[in-house]
C-alpha cells in the first residue's frame, strides 16, 4: 500500500493516522499507534491537503497559489511527499 | 496487559517554566479483572476481588476531558483486561471526539469481529494483542487460558478490518527460545508491529523472578534470532526487542522521566506517574474523585517529588550522567534497596548493585525446564493468600 508511484498515482493520508492541531503544543501533529510527530508549518500545509485524495501536480498547483512567493516550492513538496510515502504517512488513494 | 513500561518517547514541553511538561500519555487501567493469569503481570499483588469501587463511565469521561485539556494525546485502554468493561465503546467514542489517539491493550479474550468493527467505528486507532506463548501449549501454560487459536483469529480479523495492529510477546526464561517461532507466526498472519518485551520485575513478576529471569546466554541467542529475522524481513515488519535491564550496567530512564510524560489512572481512580508506582509504600496517591488531574499533575507531592533531579541522594546527586537516566526507576530502587531515593541498583555505581548481579548469577544455572507449579499465577485467590502471608 506504500508501494506506488507518487508522480502518477493519487494518494491520501494513511487512514490509520490522525492529523490535528494541538493547542498545548501550538502545532499540528500526526498521531499513530503509540506515537506522535510534530509537524512544521509547511509540513502541516501539505498534510492538511492530503486529508482528501490528492495528486502531486494538484498539490503543487494549489500550494503555488496559496504561497505565490515561495521559492523552489515544487521541489520541496515533492521531496516531502516522497519522504511521507516512505514513512507511510500517505498511501495510494485507491486502496 | 501491563508489563511494558514505555522506555522512551519524545519529550514535549509547553514552554511554561513552572511545569513545562505535558502528560502526552494517559494510561487508563479500566479494571483489574482479567481472565488471564500471567505470572509476570505488573499489576499490584494486592488485587481487589471486587469491582464495585471502579470508576464509573461518567467518572472516566471526566478524567479523559481533564487529561485532554492538559495536552494528553495518546490514550491506552488497559487493565487487567479492558474488554471486561461494558462501556468501552462509549469511552472510545468520547475519547476520539476529544482528539485522543486510542490504543486498546488487550489479551483479546472477549474480543469478537463484531466488537472490532464497533470499536473501529467508534474511533479506535490501534489494537495491541498480547500472546503468552508462541503455540497453543505454552500460551496456555503461561496465561492460564486455552486461547491461542482465538488470539490468532482475532489478530487476522484486526488486520482484515484494517485497524493498526501490534503484537506483544512478553519474554522470560521459559519462552525466550520461542522468539523465532513467534516471529514466524506474526509474519504468517501479516502483523506489521511486534514487540518482544522481556518482562520487568515489579508486581507478580518480581515475586516470580527466580523462575522468570533468563540467563545471559538465552538473551544473546534470542537477540541473534530477532536480528536475523529483521534482516530477512526489512521494511515488512517492525520488531522491537526490549531487553531486561538486569543485564545492563546503567538503568533506563523510567517512564521517560517521572512526571514528565505519563499519567496512569488505576481502576479505582488513583493517579500514578508510572504503572508500578504503588509498590512504593510511603507515597500518597491522589485520586481523581478528590482532585482534578491538573492539580495532581502540577502540584501533588507524588508527581513533583521525583520530577527532575533535585530529590537525588548520592551516588546520583553528583553523578555526571544524572540527566541521562534520572537515576533510573524509583520502584526498582525501592523494591531492591528499600529506599526509593537510592540509585536504581541496575547501575553499577549503586552500592546495592549486587542485588541485581546475585539474581543474574543465579539465573545462569537455574533449570531450563518449565516448572509451572513453582510459578505463582496472577489471580485473586493467590492475591488473597499473599496478603494473608504478609
Ligand atoms: S494477567 Fe496478563 S493479560 Fe491479565 S492484566 Fe496481567 S499481564 Fe495483562
Ligand atoms: S549513579 Fe545514578 S545518575 Fe549516575 S548513572 Fe547511576 S543511576 Fe544514573
Q: Does A22 touch chain B if contact means CB atoms closer than 8 Å?
A: yes
Nearest residue of chain A to residue B235 (CA atoms): A86
Task: For residue B80, say if its preceding peptide bond is cis, omega within 30 degrees of 0.
Answer: yes
Would you say the CB of residue B85 lies under 6 angstroms from ligand 1?
no
Domain total in chain A: 1
Residue A3 included in any domain: no
- Domain span at residue A23 reads 11-88
* Amino acid B146: pLDDT: 78
Burial bucket for residue B370 (CB in 10 Å: 0-12, 13-18, 19+):
middle
* Amino acid B14: pLDDT: 57
What is chain B's mean pLDDT, rounded?
Answer: 87
pLDDT in tens, A25-75: 999 999 998 889 999 999 999 999 999 999 999 999 999 999 998 888 999
Residue A93 included in any domain: no
Ligand nearest to the backbone CA of B328: 2
Q: Helices A41-49 and A56-66 sit at what angle, rounded to 10 degrees?
A: 130
Residue A1 included in any domain: no
pLDDT in tens, B366-378: 655 555 556 777 8
Local confidence band at B389 (pLDDT 50, 70, 90 cut-offs): low
CB atoms within 10 A of CB A77: 21
- In this model, does residue B256 exceed pLDDT 60? yes
The atom number, within ligand 1, closest to the CA of B35 reads 4
* Amino acid B5: pLDDT: 37
Q: Does A38 touch chain B if contact means CB atoms closer than 8 Å?
A: yes
CA torsion sign for A39, A41, A43, A47 is positive
Q: What is the mean pLDDT of the segment spanning B77-102?
A: 96
Q: Ligand 1: which residue has its CA nearest to atom 2?
A: B38
Residue A80 included in any domain: yes
- In this model, does residue B99 exceed pLDDT 90? yes
- Chain A residues within 8 A of B162 when measuring between CB atoms: 15-16
Would you say the CB of residue B319 lies under 6 angstroms from ligand 2?
yes
- In this model, does residue A78 exceed pLDDT 70? yes
Residue A24 included in any domain: yes
B295, three cell numbers: 492539580
- In this model, does residue B10 exceed pLDDT 60? no
Q: Does A32 touch chain B if contact means CB atoms closer than 8 Å?
A: yes
- In this model, does residue B9 exceed pLDDT 50? no
Instruction: State the distance from the centre of ligand 2 to the C-alpha of B303, rounded, in angstroms.
Output: 21
More confident residue, B5 or A65: A65
pLDDT in tens, B37-60: 888 787 877 777 688 899 999 999
Burial bucket for residue B113 (CB in 10 Å: 0-12, 13-18, 19+):
middle
Q: Residue A80: which CATH number? A: 1.10.10.1150
Residue A63 included in any domain: yes
- In this model, does residue B385 exceed pLDDT 50? yes
Residue A28 included in any domain: yes
Local confidence band at A95 (pLDDT 50, 70, 90 cut-offs): low
Residue A81 included in any domain: yes
Report yes or no: B223 and B241 within 8 Å, Cβ to Cβ: yes
Contact across the interface for A24 and B71, Cβ inside 8 Å: yes
Amino acid at each position: 500500500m506504500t508501494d506506488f508511484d507518487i508522480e502518477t498515482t493519487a494518494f491520501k493520508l494513511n487512514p490509520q493516522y490522525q492529523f490535528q492541531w494541538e493547542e498545548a503544543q501550538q502545532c499540528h501533529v500526526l498521531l499513530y499507534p503509540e506515537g506522535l510527530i510534530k509537524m512544521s508549518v509547511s509540513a502541516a500545509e501539505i498534510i492538511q491537503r492530503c486529508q482528501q485524495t490528492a495528486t502531486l501536480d494538484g498539490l503543487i498547483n494549489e500550494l503555488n497559489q496559496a504561497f505565490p512567493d515561495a521559492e523552489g516550492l515544487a521541489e520541496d513538496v515533492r521531496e516531502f511527499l516522497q519522504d511521507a510515502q516512505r514513512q507511510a504517512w500517505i498511501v495510494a488513494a485507491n486502496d | 496487559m501491563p508489563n511494558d513500561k514505555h522506555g522512551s518517547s519524545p519529550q514535549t514541553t509547553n514552554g511554561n517554566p513552572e511545569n513545562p511538561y505535558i502528560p502526552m500519555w494517559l494510561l487508563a487501567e479500566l479494571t483489574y479483572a482479567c481472565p488471564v493469569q500471567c505470572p509476570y503481570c505488573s499489576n499490584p499483588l494486592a488485587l481487589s476481588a471486587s469491582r464495585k469501587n471502579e470508576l464509573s463511565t461518567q467518572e472516566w469521561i471526566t478524567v479523559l476531558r481533564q487529561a485532554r485539556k492538559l495536552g494528553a494525546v495518546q490514550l491506552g485502554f488497559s487493565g487487567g483486561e479492558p474488554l471486561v468493561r461494558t462501556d468501552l465503546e462509549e469511552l472510545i467514542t468520547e475519547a476520539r471526539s476529544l482528539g485522543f489517539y486510542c490504543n486498546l491493550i488487550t489479551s483479546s479474550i472477549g474480543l469478537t469481529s463484531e466488537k472490532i468493527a464497533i470499536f473501529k467505528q467508534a474511533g479506535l486507532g490501534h489494537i495491541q494483542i498480547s500472546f503468552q506463548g508462541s503455540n497453543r501449549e505454552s500460551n496456555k501454560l503461561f496465561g492460564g487460558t486455552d486461547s491461542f487459536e482465538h488470539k490468532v483469529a482475532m489478530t487476522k480479523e484486526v488486520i482484515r478490518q484494517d485497524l493498526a495492529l501490534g503484537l506483544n510477546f512478553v519474554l522470560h526464561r521459559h519462552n525466550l527460545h520461542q522468539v523465532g517461532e513467534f516471529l514466524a507466526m506474526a509474519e504468517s498472519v501479516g502483523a506489521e508491529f511486534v514487540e518482544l518485551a522481556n518482562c520487568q520485575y515489579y508486581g507478580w513478576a518480581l515475586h516470580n523472578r527466580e523462575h522468570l529471569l533468563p540467563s545471559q546466554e538465552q538473551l544473546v541467542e534470542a537477540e541473534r534470532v530477532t536480528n536475523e529475522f529483521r534482516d530477512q524481513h526489512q521494511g515488512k515488519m517492525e520488531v522491537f526487542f526490549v531487553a531486561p535491564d538486569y543485564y545492563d550496567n546503567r538503568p533506563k530512564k523510567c517512564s521517560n522521566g517521572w512526571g514528565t510524560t505519563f499519567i496512569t489512572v488505576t481502576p479505582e481512580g488513583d493517579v500514578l506517574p508510572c504503572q508500578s508506582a504503588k509498590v512504593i509504600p510511603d507515597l500518597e496517591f491522589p485520586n481523581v474523585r478528590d482532585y482534578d488531574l491538573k492539580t495532581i499533575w502540577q502540584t501533588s507531592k507524588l508527581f513533583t517529588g521525583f520530577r527532575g533531579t533535585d530529590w537525588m541522594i548520592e551516588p546520583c546527586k553528583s553523578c555526571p550522567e544524572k540527566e541521562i537516566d534520572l537515576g533510573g526507576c524509583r520502584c526498582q530502587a525501592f523494591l531492591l534497596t528499600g529506599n526509593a531515593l537510592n540509585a536504581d541498583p541496575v547501575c553499577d555505581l549503586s552500592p546495592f548493585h549486587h542485588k541485581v548481579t546475585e539474581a543474574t548469577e543465579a539465573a545462569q544455572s537455574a533449570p531450563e525446564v518449565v516448572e509451572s507449579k513453582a510459578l505463582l499465577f496472577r489471580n485473586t485467590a493467590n492475591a488473597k493468600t499473599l496478603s494473608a502471608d504478609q
